[in-house]
Structure 1
Amino acid sequence: MTSATLLHLDSSISPAGSVSRALTDRFATAWRARHGRTARYRYRDLSADPVPAVRAAYDALGRRAERKGPLPLQDVATLADGPDETREWALSRPLIDELRTADTLLLGSPMYNFTVSTGLKAWIDRVSFPGAYLDPDTGERLLRDTRVVVVAVRGGGYGPGTPREHLDFQLPYLRAYFGNLGIAAEHLHVVTAELTRAADVPALNGLEPLAAESLAAAGTAVDELAALL
C-alpha cells in the first residue's frame, strides 16, 4: 500500500461530549490502522487553536496574485508589498500546503446558527487564496483527486423533507465551496448525524429514537468510508 496523507480538522467548540469529534476520531483511528506506519497524519483543532481571520493585506496580496494568474506558491511571497502582506502569506502558506498535500481531508463540522462554525469559516477564508489550487503550467485543478469527508452534525433535523430543510446553510455551503475549490463531486462524502440535542431541547423531546438511529447510521457510514479511502 502506498503512503497516504490524512488532514483531520475539528471545528466543534465543545472539547468534550462533541458528536462530531467522536465521529471524526472514529474515522481517523480506523483510517490510520488501515494505512499503517507509512501513513501521514495531520490534525488541527480549529476551535482550540483558531486560524487568524484574514485581513486587508491578505485581500491586497490575493488580488495582486490573481492578476498574475496561477503562480508557484514560492513565487507568491515575492509579490508581497510590506510586512503586513508578508505576514498574511506566512499565516496562509502552511495551511495551503497541508491541504494540497492531503490525499483525504476529514472535516468535523457541527451546525451553529444554521451554518458552519466561525473556526471553520476562518480556515476556509485563509486557505482560499486565488490560484493556489491550479497548476501554474496547465491550469488544471490540483485537488481533483483529493477525497473530502464531511461529518456534519446538527442538533435538530434539517434533512430532505423536514420542516427546517430550507434553513440548512451548512451542507449546501460546504458542497458549493469544495466543488468550487476543485473537489470532484464523486470525491465529496458527507456523513450526517441529526437530532443530537433531542434529549435536552424541549421541542425535540420524544425524538430520541430517531436521534439514536441517525447517530448509528453516521457511525456505520464513517466505518465504511474509513475502510474505503
Structure 2
Amino acid sequence: MSTLLHIDSSAMTQGSVSREVAGTFRQEWQAAHPDGTVVHRDLAVTQVPHLSAAAITAQFSSPEGHTAEQQSAVALREELIVELEQADALLISAPMYNFTIPSSLKAWLDQVVLFGRTGGEGGSVTGKPVTVVLSRGGAYGPGTPREAFEFAASYLEKALNGLLGMEVDVVVAELTLARVNPAMAEFVELADASKAQAHEQAAAKAKALAARLTEQAAV
C-alpha cells in the first residue's frame, strides 16, 4: 500500500486554484489507487515555523547537550522529515506570491532539507516522485513578457531536485486572477482554458503515478 503526502500552501482555503487542481490529482490518485493512503498537511491551517537558530545549532552539536528549545526544534524537524521519508510520493500545491512561493512552503522546505540525511547526494528521499501544482495570477510562461519574473516553479524544481534529488513534475494554471480583476477581463477565456488543461494534466499524472506505484509494489 502506497502513501501520498499532500502539502497545501495557499493562504486561501476557499477559492484557491492550486488547491482545486491538487484536489483533482488527489481524487484521481485515490480512485486509481484505492488501497493507498493520503497524508494531508495544510500549511495554512497548521503552520510550520521558520527554521530557527535552535534548529540550526542543534544540527551541529551533541544531542546530550541540547537545550529544551533545541530539543523541541529537533523533534519538529524529525516529525516532518519522517513524514516525507515514509511517503511514496509527494503532491505540493502552491500559488505564486510576489513572483515566488508562499513563505509557509519555504518554511516547510527549510525544515525537511537536512544535509547528511534528506539533502545531498544519496539522500533518503532521492528519486521520490513529486508533483507540483502551481497557480499564477498572470502569465509567466515561456515567451511571455514576465517570463523572467517566474521564481515559483523554477525555484521548486531546483530545490526539490537539486537539494533533495526528487523527481519533479509540474502542473501550471495561469491567469487565475482574470475572473476577479476587471483589468484582466480580456484574458478570461485563456484563464479558463489554462485551468481546464491543468485539471486534465493533474488527473492524467495522478493515474500514471498510481499505476507506477502499483507496478513497483508488485515487483
TM-score by length of 2: 0.90
Find 2:179's aligned residue among 187, 199, 219.
Answer: 199
Of residues 23-32 and 201-210 in structure 1, the stretch that sits farther from structure 2 once superposed is 201-210
Look up the match of 1:72: none
Residue 216 of structure 1 deviates from its aligned partner by 1.1
Q: Distance in 2 between matches of 1:32 and 1:78?
A: 40
With over 3 angstroms needed to count, the CA separation of the structure-2 counterparts of 1:7 and 1:151, relative to structure 1, is same
Look up the match of 1:220: 200
One-letter identity of the residue aligned with 2:72: R
Q: Distance in 1 between matches of 2:47 and 2:157?
A: 23
Look up the match of 2:118: 133
Look up the match of 1:71: none
Look up the match of 1:146: 128
Could you tell me which runs of 5 or more consecutive residues in structure 1 were left unpaired when the two chains were aligned. Answer: 65-76
Look up the match of 2:14: 16
Look up the match of 1:57: 54
Q: Distance in 1 between matches of 2:83 and 2:2?
A: 13
Structure 1 contact 62–130 (Cα < 8 Å) conserved: no
For the residue of structure 1 that corresponds to 2:165, the secondary structure is: coil
Q: Distance in 1 between matches of 2:173 and 2:200?
A: 11
* Equivalence map 1:2-13=2 (5 Å): 3-13=1-11
Look up the match of 1:110: 95
Q: Distance in 2 between matches of 1:221 and 1:80?
A: 50
Tell me the number of residue pairs that the alignment of Structure 1 and Structure 2 aligns. Answer: 209
For the residue of structure 2 that corresponds to 1:17, the secondary structure is: coil
One-letter identity of the residue aligned with 1:146: K
Structure 1 contact 11–109 (Cα < 8 Å) conserved: yes
Give deviations 1:119-143, integer Å, cap 9, x for gaps: 11111111122322269xxx62322
Give deviations 1:170-229, integer Å, cap 9, x for gaps: 111111101123335xx3110000001012224322011110111111011001111100
One-letter identity of the residue aligned with 1:4: S
Look up the match of 2:24: 26
One-letter identity of the residue aligned with 2:91: L
Structure 1 contact 61–79 (Cα < 8 Å) conserved: no
Look up the match of 2:82: 97
Residue 147 of structure 1 deviates from its aligned partner by 0.4
Give deviations 1:150-179, integer Å, cap 9, x for gaps: 001001000011011111111111111011
Q: Distance in 1 between matches of 2:10 and 2:172?
A: 14
Give RMSD over aligned pairs: 1.7
